[in-house]
Amino acid sequence: MRHYSSDRDIDRYVRRLLRSGWTFWWGSKHGKLRHPRSKALVTVPTSPSDPRSLKNLQRDVRHAFKVK
């Protein structure tokens, strides 16, 4: 089983996005997500130290979804 982040909640969230059509690939240090209808990129923290990392990722995903 592949892990996208060391944080369990972020890993589950990324898996849910991938099932809904998002694309994931590894950058040099972090993972990247792209919505199928947007060119905006979202960076996935692989080993987050901030307790708000999941909330920040969710915010970035909402913003990427709105950008055309």
pLDDT digits (tens, 9 = 90+) for 10-31: 999 999 999 999 999 998 888 9
The whole-number pLDDT of residue 22 equals: 93
Own/partner contacts of 35-40, CB < 8 Å, gap of 24 or more, are 35/61, 35/64, 35/65, 38/64, 38/65, 38/67, 38/68, 39/67, 40/64, 40/67
For the segment 54-68, the average pLDDT, to the nearest whole number, is 85
Question: Taking the model in full, what pTM does it have?
Answer: 0.88
Q: Is the pLDDT score of 68 beyond 90?
A: no
The predicted pLDDT at position 4 comes to 92
Residue 36 pLDDT > 90: no
